[in-house]
Chain A
């Protein structure tokens, strides 16, 4: 990339903090040991590094180091949590409750379990993206073994009422799993105080490296066990075999330490920057913010620009700005974002949406340039848009007989 890019896709992945990279480097060549090699100093050094990282990661979410299981990332952690809990507890019941706006790693794992005999209830979300607590409680039955609710949504940044959900699960004696990939390292996340028993998260959404994630599994009140999904050498207390990714884990640890120290100031700065970005874009006509703005990640906003298609809009600035759209015009079905559609947005509004996610390295200049380039793009695309023209002429778009294809 020769020219400066503006990176507003931090929910997809964050850059690895240079301080994290620095911490990792010795573990490629100087300290190459396998953390499971108990018989020589190479192994001891690696094990020590992993132990330290485990403490750093555990301390970020205020749990015991032994409650952290390292994995290859949040997708693996989600799979291990759902499939592992189901296999371990299916004799107690086969019912799992989850939410329609969960990440595909959760939804597809639930699909898989349904074929194995699990019964899955998918909760709807309200227009603001949050679940209805009464609907959750009503869905719990004697055969319910697990509730799975993501902490913060990847597309909208909407934060679920986790404490209230935790209280409901505790009241009914049901395990609570949360995919907290988007939340950990960005906002305070304390699973024990919240009543979350199992929690998935990953390094690369918090300025750590890709390819390493974690699953928190409560060891006390209640002691939770998950059936391993990867058989082998019995690493990670038998729950996840496989040679530990020592440099990755060291990086994860460093990223967690930095997050613990800098989260508050990052969040404060980014929420101001996000608000400025959002205000700048909301100055355009016919724009709407998607999702609850009071319970939302500090660095995220999701905006629909009516009568403009997201993918085309992105093409106007994607040589300079990187972000995501809720319009996936790449499949035969042309499915728009299922997250936005689940919130009750029309498919047209979902197709018109952009997700903007800031990060530790975003600057004021990034935001100002983004406002001006995106606004120009929206105006350009509206000039090209027949439905914008009809809207401007006062045509009722809902009365037109569109030729669906």
Chain B
């Protein structure tokens, strides 16, 4: 199966690979997927508490090219956004941007879940109300 140019570009030059210090209160971590399923994504956000803006994001992903591209794109998109704005990102936006074929849509779902997971972890750590899941997958 041929990958889109955008997937290949992200795969070759993944943005924001790395690890944030999860002991910091303003860092939230989302870990989704399972090794048995062939993909695991860890996405972390660092939030400026005063403004509620995501100042940094990092990811590491075990998975195929589409999974890596989806998480790379997700970090790129959320940096500079307010937490609520990041929480509103829909997986279909990732599908469109990366031109993912139907068999790879789960990669985008995982990326959306990873963003939401990181935000949830950040909110819990900071005693903020955790919003209900917008939708179930």
Contacts and interface: CB of A to CB of B under 8 A. Distances in A.
Q: Do A and B come from one complex?
A: yes
Interface of A: 307-309, 311-312, 315, 327, 329-332, 334, 336, 346-348, 351, 381, 383-389, 397, 400, 402-405
Interface centre among A347, A381, A385 (most CB of B within 10 A): A385
A380 to B, nearest CB: 10
A351 B60 contact: no
Contacts of A347: 35-38
B21 to A, nearest CB: 13
B61 A330 contact: no
A381 B62 CA distance: 8
A332 B65 contact: no
B32 interface: yes
14 contacts: A327-B38, A329-B64, A334-B39, A346-B36, A351-B35, A351-B38, A384-B61, A386-B41, A388-B62, A389-B60, A402-B37, A402-B40, A405-B34, A405-B37
Given A332-B106, A402-B35, A312 B60 contact: no
A381 B3 CA distance: 18
Contacts of A400: 31
Interface centre among B11, B36, B62 (most CB of A within 10 A): B62
Interface of B: 1, 3, 11, 14, 17, 19, 31-42, 60-65, 67-68, 103, 106, 109-110, 113, 137
A329 B33 CA distance: 13
Nearest to B103: A330
Contacts of B32: 403, 405
Contacts of A336: 38
A309 to B, nearest CB: 5
Interface centre among A332, A346, A348 (most CB of B within 10 A): A348
Contacts of A404: 34, 36-37
Nearest to A348: B35
A75 to B, nearest CB: 22
Main secondary structure of the interface of B (DSSP, over half): mixed
A400 B34 CA distance: 9
A92 B67 CA distance: 53
A403 B34 contact: yes
Contacts of B64: 309, 311-312, 315, 327, 329
Main secondary structure of the interface of A (DSSP, over half): mixed
A168 B16 CA distance: 60
Given A334-B106, A386-B41, A329 B36 contact: no
Contacts of A381: 62
Nearest to B31: A386
Contacts of A330: 1, 103
A400 B33 CA distance: 11
Contacts of A327: 38, 64
B33 A402 contact: yes
A387 B103 contact: no
B16 to A, nearest CB: 11
B36 A309 contact: no
B38 A307 contact: no
Contact of B68 (A312, A334, A389, A397): A312
A317 to B, nearest CB: 12
B36 A386 contact: no
